[in-house]
Chain A
Amino acid sequence: MSHKSLEDLLRSAGNTAQMLRNSEIGAYVYPVVPAEFSNWRDEQRAWRETAVLFDQSHHMVDLHIEGPDALALLSRLAVNTFDNFTVNRAKQFIPCSYDGHVIGDGILFYLARNKFVFVGRAPSANWIEFHGATGGYKVKIEKDDRSPSNPKGKAVVRRSYRFQIQGPNAWKVIEKVHGGRVKELKFFHMDYMNVAGRKVRTLRHGMAGAPGLEIWGPYAQREKVRETIVETGKKLGLVQVGSRAYATNTLESGWIPSPLPAVYTGEKMKAYRKWLPASGYEASGSLGGSFYSNNIEDYYVTPYEIGYGPFVKFDHDFIGRNALEKKADEPHRRKVTFAWNADDVAKVWRSMLSPGDHYKYIDLPLSNYTSSSYDKVLSRGKMVGLSMFSGYSYNERSVLSLGIVDPSVEIGSEVTLVWGEEGGGSKKTTVERHKQIEIRAIVSPVPYSKVVRESYAEGWRSAQA
């Protein structure tokens, strides 16, 4: 019998952690965009040294929210303040469960009076949609789902294209494309620019301390827009980034894309679980890594732990507020970057070249093998943190991962990360039989890169630093 809702599915599965750890959904795919335009090493270098074009048209959900109650709805769901939030601004929107655990995050664009679009992974979009549909708000919500992971050659159509122009030469590229000076607004403010004779909407963004823009418009115009930017940017070293390199940019900038959504437990979340389908992201997303607990709540994180503390504002009523008020003054685990020991990483590679059992393959440049990754981090044999997103940076010449550590763990200290799953590995299709290995790592700041740390002062990701 097929299940109707996530709640049905969870009830019949028994243990949620076990269900998600053995999900057979496969790898989390960044769809449609070619794997590499040139090669991922040079594509990574370009965002540090020249300029890049990210094609973000396919991997995120766009949720269009419109109506007189839209702002009230969104404010009710976000830890963020909505004071001073006006048209032509955007914010990193963080919704939490009633218990104050993170459901997800994404970017909320204030497009026009009573008109917003949320862009991000599914969990936050689903949560907004649910409240829009059931909360008695006067809003109209339209979902433009991410592109299929496996389009099988069929044409993919979305409402909008979405590109970013980033890197030290980004602003020069932008002004050349625009054909004149483009005013450098504040971070996350919105404006317009000209691209190939069209007025295109922009969001002021930035990477590694250099200003950049996110731009979007009707999907049918994407190739013309792309062509113009690529052609214009050529002389300034602009490089298109493929899907292999794309997701690794966060290793240097420090955003954790994939905490497990805190929706699987709690009486107050039950109505939501009954509303969620049995085949969505929450039901079929995979969970993996060396951290293992039968209690799914052990995978939840608070906004304080993953660097969103400065966004939590008790100036409005929102779901999770009571719980977060209690947590606010407690000591929090905090977000860090782990720089993996090169010799230990080489050991993993070396084991692939010997007969018999080997260690879990570290795919380059992105080495996650689940939708949500949770690897144990130890200090003197005791668990002190979690590693949650891992890959290789050619700019830093290091495998890096993002995660959280206990307050007592100091920057610069050496910890041990357990790589691979217990007992030969779970049933996830991305997991070949393997053995676990301990990899030494240096606890490092977020964002990791020296450049970013020193010149990204205004940025949202470093707001806490």
Chain B
Amino acid sequence: MSKQSLEDRLRAAGNPVDMLRNSQIGPYAFPVVRAEFTNWRDEQHAWRETCALFDQSHHMTDLYIEGPGALDLLSRLAVNSFKTFRVDQAKQLIACNHDGYVIGDAILFHLDENRFSLVGRPPAINWVQYHCETGGHDVRAERDERSVANQGRRKVYRYQVQGPHALKVMERASGKPAPDIKFFNMDVFTIAGRKVRALRHGMVGQPGWEMFGPWEHGEDVKAAIVEAGQAFGLKQVGTRTYPTSTLESGWIPSPVPAVYSGERMRAYREWLPAQGYEGTASLGGSFYSNDIGDYYLTPYDLGYGPFVRFDHDFIGREALAKMGDTVRRKKVTLAWNSEDVTRAFGDLFVKGDAAKYIDLPLANYSTLPYDRVLKGRNTIGVSTYTGYSHNERSMLSLAIVDVAHSEPGTEVTLVWGEEGGGSRKPTVERHVQTEIRATVGPVPYGDVARTAYRPT
């Protein structure tokens, strides 16, 4: 008997929306790394005030792509330009379907001549792997799956140091001035006697670094960074805190991969396993449509407009060219109204109907969160990634709203919770929907937004 494909699963389920909304996969796990090293409030402070160490060794999938056809293939799958992409550079690769909707994004590292690694959530990685294996290109792909509990061994370790003191920590750990290289360029450091490859990164305007190297070196390198960081207030960030960093930096990790519909995507769906990310991911929130296409997002929606370059041939090019410059929706940060959040929390102390529980600091309860955003009674957008920032002392979510309502300071309303008491997802207790007011802010959200736009 042949293995079930995503296409089989979808056919059996009928509607992909209902299948995903009632997925039994449970909470999205950030494996292996401990929940809190100190406490999540102080861990959030660290990336704003001192220095944070993120251990990203476990939660992402890595795909190694090698061969003379690699660059051509990647270029064909990405909206991004590959014109000046050299060894020791990286880019955020955005993959779209034929209709110009986003399948996923991931970080592409140009490791060597004809050798790349692609790191991120599975949708973009699966899509690239599919083309490597079926496209007749001269490439080989090797996949290094994310860790599951009790296994925990990867090909490489992956750490980030972020925050105002990141540079000093790197210099102390390596015993040398840090190389003066641009954002998303790579260099080599020596830490704990080990060669460490480092990508110049950064959060909210501060220089940072992402480091990787052979798994066996991981513990030594981490110990040396922690040691070097002591004088600078470095804090290790646990899995409760880690995913909330994006609320302040503005990357949306969780668009619905645009793979569930369309004749031209069928062969891919037949290749994808039924039990993979696309087949088991959970979809949740107050935004509900029977048409999975209503959940798809364009690169423009997600703020990737500047990456779209028509200097090469790529899947989705024609559709994106047609969409053109008329941007209709915009990515924003929503700062939730404190009174309304407190009211929702207060439901925990009343017998009977309660608002959907807001977990802190990360409040997502599905792999793919989609909440309705209203102006008056009209739906004007969706709110996706949701959580609390102790730096901003606010619940924040990353949203995509109509341009007309994207001006910072605009008051909107967000519907929190699912209709009809909630879907069958294990993460969803019975609850009632509630409306929460929110103020539109920029992406990334920062001091300016807090002081200028948010009512106190």
Contacts and interface: CB of A to CB of B under 8 A. Distances in A.
Interface string A140-180: 00000000011111111000000000000000000000000
A145 to B, nearest CB: 18
A293 interface: no
Nearest to A345: B349
A39 B38 contact: no
B35 interface: yes
Contact of A37 (B26, B41, B338, B357): B26
A153 B429 contact: no
Contacts of B135: none
A419 to B, nearest CB: 15
A157 to B, nearest CB: 10
Contact of A429 (B29, B31, B39, B351): B39
A429 B40 CA distance: 10
Contacts of A430: 36, 38-39
Given A39-B429, A153-B153, A27 B36 contact: yes
Contacts of B394: 353
Interface string A316-337: 0000000000000000000000
Given A26-B37, A350-B338, A429-B38, A153 B426 contact: no
Looking at chain B, what size class is its interface with the partner chain?
35 or more
A159 B204 CA distance: 49
Interface stretch (B99-107, B143-151, B273-281): B143-151
Contact of A39 (B42, B345, B365): B365
A458 to B, nearest CB: 29
Given A39-B357, A151-B150, A432-B42, A346 B342 contact: yes
Interface in B1-44: 26-27, 29, 31-32, 34-39, 41-42
B152 A39 contact: no
B193 interface: no
A37 B428 CA distance: 12
Contacts of A364: 348, 359-360
Contacts of B348: 364, 392, 394, 397
A37 B38 contact: no
Interface in A1-37: 26-27, 29, 32, 34-37
Interface in A24-81: 26-27, 29, 32, 34-39, 41-42, 45
Contact of A152 (B39, B152, B426): B152
A34 B149 contact: yes
A354 B349 contact: no
A35 B35 contact: yes
A45 B341 CA distance: 24
Given A37-B26, A397-B349, A429 B37 contact: yes
A369 B41 CA distance: 13
Interface string B330-352: 00000000100110011011110
A397 B388 CA distance: 23
Contacts of A369: 39
B218 to A, nearest CB: 10
Contacts of A39: 27, 357, 365, 426-429
Given A39-B427, A153-B152, A350-B342, A398 B27 contact: no
B393 interface: yes
A349 interface: yes
Interface-central residue, A34, A353, A354, by most chain B CB under 10 Å: A353
A26 B38 contact: yes
Given A154-B150, A156-B150, A41 B349 contact: no
Interface in A398-435: 398-399, 429-432
Classify the interface of chain B: helix, strand, loop or mixed. Answer: loop
A426 B143 CA distance: 46
Interface string B45-69: 1000000000000100000000000
Contact of B426 (A37, A355, A361): A37
A222 to B, nearest CB: 12
Nearest to A155: B150
A342 interface: yes
Contacts of A463: none
A352 interface: yes
Interface string B147-188: 101111100000000000000000000000000000000000
A436 to B, nearest CB: 16
B395 interface: yes
B150 to A, nearest CB: 5
A42 B429 contact: yes
B147 A354 contact: no
B264 interface: no
Contacts of A32: 149
Contacts of B378: none
A176 B35 CA distance: 36
A153 B26 contact: no
A323 B149 CA distance: 49
B134 interface: no
B456 interface: yes
Contacts of B26: 36-38
B390 interface: yes
A432 B341 contact: no
A353 B341 contact: yes
B37 to A, nearest CB: 7
Interface string B350-378: 11000001011000010000000000000
B125 to A, nearest CB: 21
A397 B32 contact: no
B39 A431 contact: yes
A431 B27 CA distance: 27
B344 to A, nearest CB: 10
Contacts of B36: 26-27, 430
A38 B349 contact: no
Contacts of B395: 353
Contact of A153 (B32, B346, B456): B32
Interface-central residue, A45, A150, A392, by most chain B CB under 10 Å: A150
Interface string A340-358: 0010011001101111101
A17 to B, nearest CB: 22
A156 B346 CA distance: 40
Nearest to A31: B34
Interface string B427-456: 111000000000000000000000000001
Contact of A353 (B29, B35, B150, B342): B342
B152 A36 contact: no
Contacts of A429: 37-39, 42
Contact of B151 (A29, A153, A346, A358): A153
B39 A41 contact: no
Given A153-B150, A429-B38, 13 more contacts: A35-B27, A39-B427, A342-B346, A345-B349, A346-B345, A352-B390, A355-B393, A397-B349, A397-B351, A429-B42, A430-B36, A431-B39, A432-B39
12 contacts: A41-B357, A152-B32, A153-B31, A342-B350, A345-B349, A353-B342, A353-B394, A355-B393, A364-B348, A397-B349, A430-B36, A432-B39
Query: A-B pairs with the 5 shortest C-beta distances?
Result: A153-B152, A342-B349, A38-B426, A353-B338, A429-B38
Interface of A: 26-27, 29, 32, 34-39, 41-42, 45, 149-156, 342, 345-346, 349-350, 352-356, 358, 361, 364, 369, 392, 394, 397-399, 429-432
Interface of B: 26-27, 29, 31-32, 34-39, 41-42, 45, 58, 147, 149-153, 338, 341-342, 345-346, 348-351, 357, 359-360, 365, 388, 390, 393-395, 426-429, 456
